[in-house]
């Protein structure tokens, strides 16, 4: 029996993770492809005139079994992928890519879609139907349907190669992350490190067979405290350099993978009639063109760079005040940032950690969206999970109606990639002839509980949880008909609005009072500590902004440059980031080779989306503050026009329905104190 091929028999139609084994995927995906091809043949051979139902909707629902099998595999590939599962990535990606090429390059099928697109009365369609039609037509056109002969085959070959290289990049990043272990045998070397982080390092060492010692890895909950608090600069240097050198000129070098990806993407864009990959990508974004993106980034850089240089001068001054004659280095940044924060605000973020017990944080987020949107969450222990640390909740609305399932996976593992993300196990919309509710998950790499304490988060982890929870709400609250335009299936530079919007709430005392209580005493976060947090919220805003701009500009350079002019990964990165490099680079370091967002994920020519969406979220949150933090009227408008509508209209139209106008471009600069 293959559970991926069986009709769902579990409550809510949940994925039977407890029954799925690696050997089930290839047969299930091949079966799904075969079923989808049969459905496509029925569309092509239909003698009736092509129309919205017999062609567009039929195509939308043609690969339902395949979608579940492929989706489930890539959920696990990112979150719980032992070697035997990782080993399937290339074959599965190639199978899926070949099938996608068969569809997009099928002339008969495209002609039916084209006929509907050109002859249907578009005024008779709902906005959602029009978006599905437009998306269906463009999906063919942007994936080679208008090509002829050899060009079609060339595109097919490129897509096959990309399908192999992209997971290879991610596998290398995970392997390099797991390969680094720094073992410390003298406690005196850990001076400055908080006790919680020290205990976690001791437990990691014990787990790795070194009891009585301390170990650090490149996983965020281990890496960040080490570079932020350890007084010994040589240890900070070792860990910082390990991160900077990861995947560059080592056993898991991604240099060749990056160059091949860039060449293939550029060649693909040229074949399809675009000057660069960035031109291709941005055609379907709010920003629309590389010129508009670059203008946007340049304006932010104009205000961010002077502020960033001022931030660095303050760090240099505090380092000199300790008697050091060495210039500020990259391994000093987090360390002296923390010292400066203490000096300016008498504030050590570690003071917050006892008030951020993980369970109370997520229960507080649940309370917040209960106030805003009338949602309630109840744990469901009988839903299968892919790892015993995953928790599942049923979400209901204020009428008690089922909204969806919500999965949370909190802690680092060697089988999980780094970072944090939202994923849909089952998207909302039409499936098997019914409109189904979604199954949504968020995956993170947070501070683990120790033998003596629960998981206590730092403020960045709290913000990260709220960020991913915002994405989850976008998926959970979706009220669309078609899965292709439901939930987070929106323009890439709009998708970060619901997530970044949620981060604003954790700086409001009324919200923190919902969950920020001391894990031992139950006392609420003291007012003086909150005031320090709030006062420091714009601290290092210039540096933090230029750091994001550095990644955004690097991404745009990679994807808007002719690869034939690129000599190698190292020299290109150095040249591309000259404007944003305000610190001496570590010789031999390279960020591109582990830049998973753009080479292992979906953010190629799209990393600017974070800053773009920050403008939207700053403007949106101003609306809440103007009308009352928990304004029912504003929350209703945000829910009904943003969270429920997916990609059923152009995002600017949805935003204007919520806000009553286009976003104020200066809202972000105001929030960050840069103007």
**Owner of token pair 């601290």:** 539
Please give the pLDDT value at position 147: 95
By three-state DSSP, how is residue 412 classified? coil
Give me the torsion for CA of 333, 339, 343, 345, rounded to 10°: 80
Which pLDDT band holds residue 11 (cuts at 50, 70, 90)? confident
Whether the predicted pLDDT of 9 surpasses 90: no
Q: What is the pLDDT of residues 271-311, one digit of tens each?
A: 999 999 999 999 999 999 999 999 999 999 999 999 999 99
Q: What is the pLDDT of residue 641?
A: 98
Strands 402-409 and 391-396, sheet pairing:
antiparallel
User: What are 43-99's pLDDT values in tens digits?
Assistant: 999 999 999 999 999 999 999 999 999 999 999 999 999 999 999 999 999 999 999
DSSP per residue over 633-668, as a string? HHHHHHIIIIITTTTSS-HHHHHHHHHSS---TTHH
CA distance 23 to 291: 47
Residue 324 has pLDDT above 80, yes or no: yes
Question: Taking 90 as the threshold, does the pLDDT of residue 379 lie above it?
Answer: yes
Average pLDDT of the segment spanning 175-182: 96
Cα–Cα distance, 592 to 178 (Å, whole number): 18
Q: What is the pLDDT of residues 218-267, one digit of tens each?
A: 999 999 999 999 999 999 999 999 999 999 999 999 999 999 999 999 99
Positions marked catalytic: 468
Q: pLDDT, tens digit, for every residue of 459-468?
A: 999 999 999 9
CB crowding 301-328: b at 16 or more within 10 Å, else e: bebbbebbeebbebbeebbeeeeeeeeb
Mean pLDDT over each residue of the chain, to the nearest integer: 96
Please give the pLDDT value at position 10. 85
What is the C-alpha radius of gyration for the chain, rounded to an integer number of angstroms? Answer: 25
The two structure tokens encoding residue 45: 């051979």
**pLDDT average, residue stretch 610-632:** 96
Q: Which helix (H) or strand (E) holds 84?
A: helix 83-86
Number of Cβ within a 10 Å radius of residue 539: 18
Percent of the chain with pLDDT over 70: 100
Whether 665 has a pLDDT exceeding 80, the answer reads: yes
Reply yes or no on whether the pLDDT at 8 is more than 90: no
The whole-number pLDDT of residue 675 equals: 87
Residue 353 has pLDDT above 80, yes or no: yes
How confident is the model over 397-437, as pLDDT tens digits?
A: 999 999 999 999 999 999 999 999 999 999 999 999 999 99
pLDDT tens for residues 625-650? 999 999 999 999 999 999 999 999 99
Residue 524, pLDDT above cutoff 80? yes
Q: What share of the chain has pLDDT > 90, as a percent?
A: 97
Task: State the average pLDDT over residues 594-616.
Answer: 95
Contacts (Cβ under 8 Å, ≥6 apart) of 461: 221, 356, 444, 446, 447
pLDDT score at 647: 97
Residues 155-164: what's their mean pLDDT?
Answer: 96
In whole angstroms, give the CA distance from residue 184 to residue 201. 9
In DSSP terms, 377 is beta-bridged to 395
What is the distance of C-alpha 473 from the center of its chain? 14
Per-residue pLDDT, 3: 93
The pair of three-digit structure tokens given for residue 71, joined into one six-digit string: 């989706």
What is the per-residue pLDDT for 219?
95
Q: Classify residue 524 by its DSSP letter.
A: B
Residue 54 DSSP class: I
The first and second tokens of residue 588, run together, are 């031999």
Domains in the chain (CATH in brackets) are: 11-104+106-142 (1.20.1050.40), 180-245 (no CATH), 255-347+541-607 (1.10.1370.10), 354-535+610-671 (1.10.1370.40)
The predicted pLDDT at position 343 comes to: 94
> In this predicted structure, what is the pLDDT of residue 6?
86
């Amino acid at each position: 029996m293959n559970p991926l091929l069986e009709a769902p028999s579990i409550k809510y139609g949940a994925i039977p993770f407890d029954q799925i084994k690696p050997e089930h995927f290839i047969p299930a995906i091949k079966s799904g492809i075969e079923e989808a091809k049969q459905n496509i043949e029925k569309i092509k051979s239909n003698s009736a005139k092509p129309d919205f139902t017999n062609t567009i909707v039929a195509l939308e629902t043609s690969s339902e079994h395949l979608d579940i099998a492929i989706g489930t595999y890539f959920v696990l590939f990112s979150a719980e992928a032992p070697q035997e599962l990782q080993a399937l990535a290339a074959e599965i990606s190639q199978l899926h890519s070949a099938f996608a090429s068969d569809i997009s390059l099928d002339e008969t099928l495209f002609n039916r879609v084209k006929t509907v697109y050109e002859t249907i009365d578009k005024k008779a369609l709902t906005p959602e139907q029009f978006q599905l039609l437009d998306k269906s037509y463009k999906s063919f056109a942007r994936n080679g349907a208008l090509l002829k002969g050899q060009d079609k085959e060339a595109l097919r070959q490129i897509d096959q190669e990309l399908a192999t290289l992209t997971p290879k990049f991610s596998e290398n990043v995970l392997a390099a992350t797991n390969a680094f272990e720094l073992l410390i045998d003298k406690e005196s070397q850990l001076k400055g490190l908080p006790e919680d982080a020290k205990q976690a390092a001791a437990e990691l060492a014990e787990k790795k067979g070194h009891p009585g010692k301390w170990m650090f890895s490149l996983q965020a909950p281990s890496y960040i405290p080490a570079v932020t608090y350890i007084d010994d600069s040589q240890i900070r240097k070792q860990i910082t350099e390990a991160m900077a050198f990861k995947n560059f000129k080592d056993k898991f070098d991604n240099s060749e993978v990056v160059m091949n990806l860039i060449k293939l993407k550029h060649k693909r864009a040229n074949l399809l009639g675009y000057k660069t990959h960035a031109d291709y990508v941005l055609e379907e974004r709010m920003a629309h063109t590389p010129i508009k993106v670059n203008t946007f980034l340049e304006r932010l850089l104009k205000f961010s760079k002077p502020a960033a240089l001022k931030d660095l001068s303050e760090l240099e001054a505090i380092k000199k005040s300790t008697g050091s004659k060495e210039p500020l280095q990259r391994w000093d940044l987090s360390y002296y940032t923390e010292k400066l924060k203490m000096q300016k605000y008498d504030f050590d973020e570690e003071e917050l950690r006892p008030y951020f017990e993980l369970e109370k944080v997520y229960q507080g987020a649940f309370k917040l969206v209960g106030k805003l949107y009338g949602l309630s969450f109840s744990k469901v222990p009988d839903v299968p999970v892919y790892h015993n640390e995953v928790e599942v909740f049923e979400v209901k609305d204020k009428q008690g109606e089922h909204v969806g399932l919500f999965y949370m996976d909190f802690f680092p593992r060697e089988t999980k990639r780094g970072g944090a993300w939202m994923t849909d196990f089952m998207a909302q919309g039409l499936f098997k002839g019914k409109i189904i509710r979604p199954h949504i998950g968020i995956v993170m790499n947070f501070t683990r509980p120790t033998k003596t304490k629960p998981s206590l988060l730092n403020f960045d982890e709290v913000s990260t949880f709220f960020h991913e929870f915002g994405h989850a709400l976008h998926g959970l609250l979706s009220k669309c008909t078609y899965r292709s335009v439901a939930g987070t299936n929106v323009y890439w530079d709009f998708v970060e609005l619901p997530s970044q919007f949620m981060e604003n709430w954790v700086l409001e005392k009324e919200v923190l009072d919902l969950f920020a209580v001391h894990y031992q005493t139950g006392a609420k976060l003291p007012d003086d500590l909150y005031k320090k947090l709030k006062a420091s919220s714009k601290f290092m805003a210039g540096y933090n902004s230029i750091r994001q701009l550095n990644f955004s500009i690097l991404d745009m350079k990679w994807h808007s440059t002719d690869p034939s002019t690129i000599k190698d990964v190292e020299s290109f990165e150095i040249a591309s980031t000259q404007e944003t490099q305000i610190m001496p680079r570590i010789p031999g370091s390279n960020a591109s080779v582990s830049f998973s967002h753009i080479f292992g994920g979906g953010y190629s020519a799209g990393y600017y989306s974070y800053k773009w969406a920050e403008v939207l979220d700053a403007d949106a949150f101003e609306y809440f503050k103007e009308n009352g933090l928990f304004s029912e009227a504003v929350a209703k408008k945000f829910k009904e026009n943003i969270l429920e509508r997916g990609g059923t209209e152009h995002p600017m139209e949805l935003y204007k329905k919520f806000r009553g106008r286009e976003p104020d471009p200066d809202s972000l600069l105001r929030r960050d104190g840069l103007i």
